[in-house]
Amino acid sequence: MYKVLIPQDIQEEGKQYLREKGYEIQIGSGFDRDTLKKEISDADAVIARTAAYPADVIAAGTKLKVIARYGVGYDNIDLKAAEDMGIYVTIAKGCNTRSVAEHTAALMLACARNITQIYEELKRGNFAIRNALPGMELRGKTFGIAGIGAIGFETAKIVHDGFSMEVLAFDRYADRSVYPEWIHFVDTLDELLKNADVLSLHTPLTSETEHMINRDAMRLMKPSAIIINAARGPIWDERDLYEALKEGTIAAAGSDVFEQEPPDARFPLFELPNYIASAHNAALTKEANAAVSLSCAHAVDDVLSGREPEFPIIRPDK
């Protein structure tokens, strides 16, 4: 019987599917490096959430045949180590696209209408705050997308159709011909930064995108601009973001991600009234969790049954 290790628990739908297929499921006792190395040693498959899977952890999985990533980002997995060991790495493509896009829009609205600032003042009895902090109407404003993948495109549809926003996009690798005419592509990141009223980050985390939103980038933006990051924390430089928000270089920022997760309770950005954050939970709706868990379970079953999985990132040489 094949063993499937789940270091960080998943929704019941995926586990039930694996049980019905006859797999042994082991819910991990922890997901720190040492625990992972111990528990992965006799696993045939692992469903990987946010824990790190560096080369030494993967090397400990001597029976491992597939790492099914619970999501679409895979910067927490050493792909070369997996490839060298002949291990499949798969992603759960498309399962949480809508959930992340809706969450991005929610962060945008919270920033544009000063929701958290007004709520905090209201709790103190300051009803007059309603006149002190007027919001920004989104209709006709420019929504800039850095990285127009599936989530970026879904977000674009929400803001275009729902809020009548103009949409600009910058993506060096996108096939522009497949997108509707109302998405206007620009050729440089600088052009996107200068024109966006709301900048939404949707790029993967790579050496090219790490800290691409830094002090110099934010100085190109409008002082009324909002930045939303529901992608990966290191895409922006949090220290530079703190200074930009404190000095009024930009108006507000909303984030679902952090350079270090979880963030410290004394995280400096938490002190700022024009910063709002959630706990890297944009993708974690009930609907998305069910779909992602099933996608991972299908990928595990495909590989262990000798079939090609639907969304491989690393495919071992046959």
Q: Which of 24, 261, 271, 308 is catalytic?
A: 261
Q: State the catalytic residue, choosing from 166, 232, 238, 298.
A: 232
184 is an active site residue: no
Residue 261 known to be catalytic: yes
Contact present, 245 and 275 (Cβ < 8 Å): yes
Distance between CA atoms of residues 140 and 157, nearest Å? 14
Q: Is 298 a catalytic residue?
A: no
What is the SS3 assignment for the chain?
Answer: CCEEEECCCCCHHHHHHHHHCCCEEEECCCCCHHHHHHHHHHCCEEEECCCCECHHHHHHCCCCCEEEECCCCCCCECHHHHHHCCCEEECCCCCCHHHHHHHHHHHHHHHHCCHHHHHHHHHCCCCCHHHHCCCCCCCCCEEEEECCCHHHHHHHHHHHHHHCCEEEEECCCCCHHHCCCCEEECCCHHHHHHHCCEEEECCCCCCCCCCCECHHHHHCCCCCCEEEECCCHHHECHHHHHHHHHHCCCCEEEECCCCCCCCCCCCHHHHCCCEEECCCCCCCCHHHHHHHHHHHHHHHHHHHCCCCCCCEEECCCC
Phi–psi pair at 142, nearest 5 degrees: -100, 120
Catalytic residue, from 98, 202, 280, 298: name it.
Answer: 280
Catalytic residue positions, numbered: 232, 261, 280
